[in-house]
């Protein structure tokens, strides 16, 4: 398989790859994401993943397969990104309360040895319970929602917050390893 580079500083993505015994190095992408786009499209999120992987090419020291990824939370075809502050996180969680939404993770793999590029997306569905203002406040104050799309991490949600999910749990966390492994 050759050398693998994860073009992400996400500890969750690194943990997922480690759980699947994939040996890799982390080289965070210098790519600056465009946060002005709020309407969801697969092509947009896939371009983010691709651009994250591509931005690592100039700083790569040896041939490798570069994995770039981007995860978005989508409600009513609008992207809920990472919250700016407490009020933004509260607003997002309030919007998600009692509803189903999509979590889409785009994955890009650029193989510099074989000169190949692959990009795909994986979609999962999450349904929140009806959350009280107190539950939302508790979550924001006791967990760190500020580096997570949609202001939450499913893997750390207390009992009584998530009603159900469909699809890959790893995808919701930030990287569907099964898909990434197939792409590699």
Which ranges of 30-119 does DSSP label H, i.e. alpha helix?
42-54, 86-96
| Residue 70 annotated as catalytic | yes
29-63 burial: b if 16+ Cβ within 10 Å, else e: bebeeeeeeeebeeebbbbbbbbbbbbbeeeeeee
Measured between alpha carbons, how far is 148 from 150 in angstroms, rounded to an integer? 6
Directed axis angle between helix 86-96 and helix 133-142, to 10°?
Answer: 130
Q: Which of 101, 33, 10, 27 is CA-nearest to residue 64?
A: 27
Residue 148, CB-side half-sphere exposure with 13 Å CA sphere:
24
Of these residues, 25, 70, 133, 147, which one is catalytic? 70
* Residue 11: CB atoms within 10 Å: 11
Catalytic site positions: 70
């Amino acid at each position: 398989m050759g050398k693998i580079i994860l073009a992400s500083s996400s500890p969750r993505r690194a943990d997922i790859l480690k759980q699947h015994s994939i040996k890799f190095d982390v080289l965070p992408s210098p790519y600056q994401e465009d946060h002005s786009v709020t309407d969801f499209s697969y092509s947009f999120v896939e371009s983010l993943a691709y651009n994250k992987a591509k931005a690592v090419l100039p700083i790569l020291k040896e041939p490798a397969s570069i994995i770039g990824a981007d995860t978005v939370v989508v409600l009513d075809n609008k992207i809920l990104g990472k919250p700016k502050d407490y009020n933004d996180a509260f607003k997002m969680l309030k919007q998600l309360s009692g509803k189903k939404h999509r979590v889409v993770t785009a994955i890009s793999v650029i193989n510099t040895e074989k000169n190949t590029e692959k990009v795909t997306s994986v979609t999962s569905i999450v349904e929140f319970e009806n959350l009280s203002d107190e539950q939302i406040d508790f979550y924001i104050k006791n967990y760190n929602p500020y580096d997570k799309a949609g202001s939450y991490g499913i893997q750390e949600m207390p009992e009584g917050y998530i009603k159900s999910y469909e699809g890959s749990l790893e995808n919701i966390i930030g990287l569907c390893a099964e898909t990434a492994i197939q792409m590699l």
